[in-house]
Amino acid sequence: GENVEQHPSTLSVQEGDSAVIKCTYSDSASNYFPWYKQELGKRPQLIIDIRSNVGEKKDQRIAVTLNKTAKHFSLHITETQPEDSAVYFCAASIRTDKLIFGTGTRLQVFP
């Protein structure tokens, strides 16, 4: 079955700096890769997603890149702000099939 690894587990950055979180997946059939932001006690919130027919997608300060050959994808947050502090999860699935989540990255943005 699918296995998703995520690094780093914690990430501390200064406000205004960039943050990068990386994930690798094992199942080459996976074709949908969402990223979620989760605050304590809340549901995961989709912040960006990418499908396997696209190599990069950007939405304001957030971008995701996908390398299908290497089976890894990354989340890039530029100009980080304190409100970006949260736990971020990557996930992989085959279309609307079950999502397999990475282990999570706790991002802290210091003012």
Partner 1 sequence: GAVVSQHPSRVICKSGTSVKIECRSLDFQATTMFWYRQFPKKSLMLMATSNEGSKATYEQGVEKDKFLINHASLTLSTLTVTSAHPEDSSFYICSASPVPGTNNDEQFFGPGTRLTVL
Q: Name the site residues for partner 1 (rule: CB under 8 A).
A: 32, 34, 41-44, 46, 49, 51, 89, 93, 95-96, 98-104
d(CA 28, CA 20): 23
In 3-state terms, the chain is what percent helix, strand and coil (to 5)? 5, 55, 40
Nearer to partner 1, 42 or 61 (CB): 42
Greatest extent of the chain over all pairs of C-alpha atoms, in Å: 41
Q: Kindly state the smallest distance separating residue 59's Cβ from partner 1, in Å.
A: 14
Nearer to partner 1, 27 or 78 (CB): 27
Nearer to partner 1, 42 or 58 (CB): 42
Nearer to partner 1, 57 or 78 (CB): 57
Q: Kindly state the smallest distance separating residue 95's Cβ from partner 1, in Å.
A: 5
Q: Look at the alpha carbons of 14, 82, 89, 32 in this order and tell me if their dihedral is positive or negative.
A: negative
d(CA 57, CA 97): 22
Q: Kindly state the smallest distance separating residue 81's Cβ from partner 1, in Å.
A: 23
